[in-house]
Amino acid sequence: MKKIMVSLLFFMATLSVSAQLDDKGLILKLLEDQRQAWNRGDLVDYMQGYSKSDSLLFVGKNGPQYGWETTLTNYRKSYPDKKTMGFLSFDIKEVRMISDDHAFVLGAWHLKREKDDPKGYFTLIIKKIRGEWKVIADHSS
């Protein structure tokens, strides 16, 4: 009986670690999909990585703003065309699972544009919603 219990506990721990690795991979894919959409100049597709909710929180240079539509509108104002969007790259520093359905992401962003190369950092809270990982809070500087 003791061997069965130890085996069962080991199996459950292995499943938990495996699920976390799969979730981290899905989160990294979400970010890569966003990066590719940005580099195509497609803000609407880029925004698919965010929770389409009025409670979506985006904190940038103008302070906290709420809502998916507000975030898209602000992106359109700041990046009205492909030239201003430039070429985006990410350097993901950490993906930390907070719970089974929440993760914290720390990363750096860099835009390569014709006349400048802005860069900064971001922290994200990502939540699994109906089986899909979505950004629910973004603090970018």
Q: What is the pLDDT of residues 24-38, one digit of tens each?
A: 999 999 999 999 999
Q: What is the pLDDT of residues 55-113, one digit of tens each?
A: 999 999 999 999 999 999 999 999 999 999 999 999 999 999 999 999 999 999 999 99
The dihedrals phi and psi of 107, each to the nearest 5 degrees, come to -160, 175
Q: SS3 for 1? A: coil
- pLDDT tier, 14 (very low <50, low <70, confident <90, very high otherwise): very low
What is the CATH topology of the domain spanning 2-140? Nuclear Transport Factor 2; Chain: A, (3.10.450)
**Strand-by-strand arrangement of the 87-99 sheet:** 63-66, 57-60, 132-140, 119-129, 102-112, 87-99
Give the N- to C-terminal CA distance of the chain in Å, as an integer: 55
